[in-house]
Amino acid sequence: MKQFFQKHTGIIIALVILLTWGAVLWSLLHWEVNFWSPLTYLAVLVMMHLYTGLFITAHDAMHGVVAPGNKPLNTVIGTICAGLFAYNYYGRLYPRHHLHHRHVATDQDPDYHGGNFFLWFLSFAMQYVTVVQVLLMAGTYHLLQVWFPVENVILFWMVPAVLATLQLFYFGTYLPHRGEHEHDNRHKSSTQSRNHLWAFFSCYFFGYHYEHHDKPYLPWWKLYQEKNRLVKGQ
C-alpha cells in the first residue's frame, strides 16, 4: 500500500484537490448566504484557495509530474483542472508556459511585461483570456442561476476564480519576475523567504519560484523540500 501511494502521489493529490473543489462548491451553492457572517467571506477564501489548487495541478501536468510516465492521464487531469478554472484550455496554456520557461523575462516570454502591476496584469490577461472563455463563463453563469441563488453563484463560483487569478499572477508571475535586471541568477527569478505555511497558503509553494525554475520536474508539494535544501546549503 505504501508503495502504491508513493508511486501515485501526484495523481492522488490531484484527485483530492479536484474532489474537494467540487464538494465544497456544491455545498456552498446550496448554502444560505449571510453577508453579516465572517464565515461567508472565509468560504470565499477557501474556494479561492481550491481554485488556485486546480490551476497549480494543471500547471504540474504541463511539466508531466502529476502522472509521471503516463502522458495521456497527465494530459487528461491537466485538461480537466484547467477547464474547471474558468474554462482555461490546457492545449493553449501548455506551449505558452513552456515558452515562459525557455525565454523567462524576455520579449519571447508570454507571461512577462516590463510595466507596472496593472499594465502587466492586463498584458497577462490578454495572453490567456479568450472570447470563447468569456462566452462559456457567461452561459454557465446564466445556467447555474436556474438551480442556485444568484448570490451563491457570484460569491462561490465567480468571485473565487477572479481572486485566484489575481493570486496566481501576483505570487507566481509578478513578484518572482519583476525587476528582472536585479536578479543575479540564470532563471531571472526571485524567491520567497522560507516560511512554508505562508508559501503554501499564498500560492501552493510557488513563491519558491527560483526553486521551480531550477527544478521544474518537482511537483508543487516538493518545492518546500528544495527550499530547505538550498537554505541549508547557504
Task: State mean pLDDT over 40-64.
Answer: 95
Does the pTM exceed 0.75? Answer: yes
Cβ atoms of 129 and 115 within 8 Å: the answer is no
Give the model's pLDDT for residue 79: 96
Instruction: Identify which of 142, 167, 151 has the alpha carbon closest to the alpha carbon of residue 49.
Output: 167
Please count the other Cβ atoms lying within 10 Å of the Cβ belonging to residue 71: 11
Q: Decide if pLDDT at 177 tops 80.
A: yes
Q: Is it the case that residue 80 has pLDDT exceeding 90?
A: yes
Place of cell 483530492: 16
- By mean pLDDT, which of 50-59, 101-110, 137-146 is the weakest? 101-110
> Would you tell me how many other CB atoms lie within 10 Å of the CB of residue 99?
15
Q: How do residues 40-49 score in pLDDT, each as one tens digit? A: 999 999 999 9
Q: Look at 171 and 3; give whichever has higher pLDDT.
A: 171
pLDDT, residue 69, reads 84
Rounded to the nearest 5°, which phi and psi values hold at 204? 50, 45
Report the pLDDT value the prediction gives residue 112, as an integer from 0 to 100: 80
Query: CB-based burial of residue 172 (10 Å sphere; 0-12 exposed, 13-18 middle, 19+ buried)?
Result: buried
Q: What is the pLDDT of residue 185?
A: 75
Residue with cell 508570454: 110
pLDDT of residue 17: 97
In this structure, of 79-83, 131-135, 230-234, the range with the lowest mean pLDDT score is 230-234
Please say if the pLDDT value at position 181 is more than 60: no
DSSP state of 113: -
12: cell is 492522488
Question: What average pLDDT score do residues 150-174 get?
Answer: 93
Provide the grid cell at 186.
Answer: 540564470
Q: Is a pLDDT exceeding 60 seen at residue 117?
A: yes
In the predicted structure, residue 141 carries a pLDDT above the cut 60: yes
- The one-character DSSP state at 63 is T
Domain spans in the chain, listed from the N-terminal domain onward: 2-186
The predicted structure's pLDDT at residue 233: 67
Q: Where are the alpha helices (DSSP H) in the chain?
A: 2-7, 9-29, 38-62, 71-84, 90-102, 117-128, 131-147, 150-153, 159-169, 175-177, 196-203, 209-214, 223-233
**6-20, 92-106, 148-162, 192-206, range with the lowest pLDDT:** 92-106
The cell for 209 is 519560484
